[in-house]
Chains A and B, each alone.
Chain A
Amino acid sequence: MMSAISIKDTPKRRIKKGTIKHLIGQIVVLGIGIIMIYPLIWMFMSSFKETGTIFETAGELWPRVWVLENYFNGWQGVSNVTFGTFFTNSAILSVGGTIGAVISSALVGYAFSRGRFVGRKILFALMLSTLMLPAQVLMVPQFLWFNQLGWIGTYMPLIVPAFFAISGFFVFLITNFMNGIPRELDEAARIDGCSFYGIFMRIILPLSVPALITTSLFSFIWRWDDFMGPLIYVRRVAQFPASLALRMFADPAAATDWGAVFAMSTLSLVPAVAIFIFLQKYLVEGISTAGLKG
């Protein structure tokens, strides 16, 4: 009996109550969202302010005078090395490492997904265990090893390991994706005379492109942002990537040109923001399928 009454008199009230609740929810979500990105917008805007006025007018978002000089001053860089060089170095490290990570992870992911060989399960478990061996644990051991190899001061420690699929995240992501490709396709290709390698090149690899794009985007962003690796292995300023250069540039001990720092910081975020705007779909898919940290 109760239910009959409530069904009768709810529609009107529920709509009104619903819209108000909905509206409050929207305002809360929007408000927190603005607070979230406010610091980033603040930095972007500050890079166009006259450098002496940035902190005096920290409470104002809109520059009183729009200037571009911070970008010209910042580009000059430090120790006679321009940010053109720093960004090029970042690009070499990120692209080089990413190519290695994608090729090797795809190959190893294929072996785990389709291969039946002795020790596969153990190797897969070892691969998953690398998730618990992040860069910080390996920092000192790998440094001592690369020191023995004479690789310190070169890009080798930052690029070469990427070619050996030791990033469990990417292998895991790609293996999962490949497991979702129907095995009937392999069988059909095998009947048509494809070898194990042929199936990889002609069937699995082309169908795995979305997972490979996700892998390359994350790999690129993480390598572009990497600070600890270059800090330990790179010695000469001319070889610094942008992350190291920014740190040196923003040295609080010296009189810092904050306008120039914010200008170069803003520039250093352009690749990640561009990926975010145009290829967000692949990042979101990577996160929700493999739970990659962003």
Chain B
Amino acid sequence: MQSNPATTTWKNPLSAIIAFIHREKIAAFICCLPFVVGFFTFLIVPMGMSLYYSFTNFNMLSPPTWTGFDNYIRMWNDTRFWSSLRATFYFAFASVPLRLIFALAIAMLLLRARRLIGIYRAMYYLPSILGGSLAVAILWGRLFAINGVLNEGILEFFGLNRNFPWLGNVNTAIWTLILLAVWQFGSSMLIFLASLKQIPEQLYEASSIDGAGKIKQFVKITLPLLTPTIFFNLVMQTIAGFLAFTQAFVITRGEPMDSTLFYALYMYRQVFDFGNAGYGSAMAWVMLAIIGSMTGILFLTRRFWVYDGGYT
């Protein structure tokens, strides 16, 4: 285990190699190697390949043929592409703010709760843990089915059951999915709770001496100090919202009339149902460009509303 190779005399190549891989900088790079190899093999290579395929007509059975920008032009003229984009933005822009508002509101309420905090936290956080499962997706489909829990159970109880097809109506189907996303606000709530606890009590005491009410305190102290947390959540969840797939695949299947045909779902259809791997590759790259620019825009707006000054 020579740690200083300069003073070592090599007896054979093996000990030279051992000494080499123990040099601090080499050793660190070796530890990093899985990522380097993985990043190249499972990200760079597939993304590069798909960039090539995006300029071809490729059905995975016969070799790809070069078609230039045809896929991108076709996308521009594809009404289903635009409607999938609209559905995706609608979903993301409705679910993300609602989720953050709920998360913050409940976090503020839980901040005061002392005795049952463990139970409350469990109640609100459990949906976040289970929400991604197929079991919940199937359950959600049953909640809003014509003969489902909402109609037969809750509305029937109040005598309001009109057998409304929540999943079959163009206006309500997407809202069942938005509701499912908002239902999982628990993890954001925990992040807010952790940030709220870090705000020093003195700030509130000082401001109440100065005559600030609860609302003013919230607007002038709580909210500004939470903006870094809100920003982080906003970025991550907008990306996640843009990628919605499984729930729409299982619960609504993109129906009715493509109103819940989200971008990722349409991309899946193009490749795996219609066999258009070239078109699907182009869609993947457009998706990456959209996510990149949305994140970029959010970061550009950062300096106008995110407060980074700390607590003093």
Contacts and interface: CB of A to CB of B under 8 A. Distances in A.
Interface of A: 22, 25-26, 28-30, 32-34, 36-37, 39-40, 42-43, 55-56, 58-60, 104, 107-108, 110-112, 114-118, 120, 123, 126-127, 130-145, 147-148, 161, 163-166, 171, 193, 195-198, 200, 221-222, 224-225, 227-228, 231-232, 242-244, 246-247, 250, 252, 258, 261-262, 265-266, 268-269, 272-273, 275-276, 280, 283-284, 287-288, 291-294
The DSSP consensus for interface residues of chain B is helix
A242 B133 CA distance: 10
Nearest to A61: B153
A255 to B, nearest CB: 14
A172 B14 CA distance: 35
A149 to B, nearest CB: 10
A184 B5 CA distance: 24
Interface in B187-242: 187, 190-191, 193-194, 232-233, 236-237, 239-240
Given A30-B120, A127-B35, A111 B133 contact: no
A174 to B, nearest CB: 12
A33 B190 contact: no
Given A43-B135, A137-B284, A291 B129 contact: no
B267 A55 contact: no
Contacts of B71: none
A12 B123 CA distance: 34
Given A144-B50, A195-B22, A247-B134, A164 B35 contact: yes
Interface string B116-144: 10011111111111101111101111110
B243 A136 contact: yes
Contact of A141 (B3, B47, B149): B47
A284 B132 contact: no
User: Does more than half of chain A's interface fall in helix, strand or loop, or is it mixed?
Assistant: helix
B297 interface: no
B170 to A, nearest CB: 19
A242 to B, nearest CB: 8
Given A139-B284, A265-B134, A294-B187, 20 more contacts: A26-B113, A30-B116, A40-B126, A104-B35, A107-B34, A110-B31, A114-B28, A117-B32, A127-B39, A130-B39, A140-B284, A144-B46, A144-B49, A227-B250, A228-B245, A247-B134, A250-B141, A273-B130, A293-B128, A294-B186
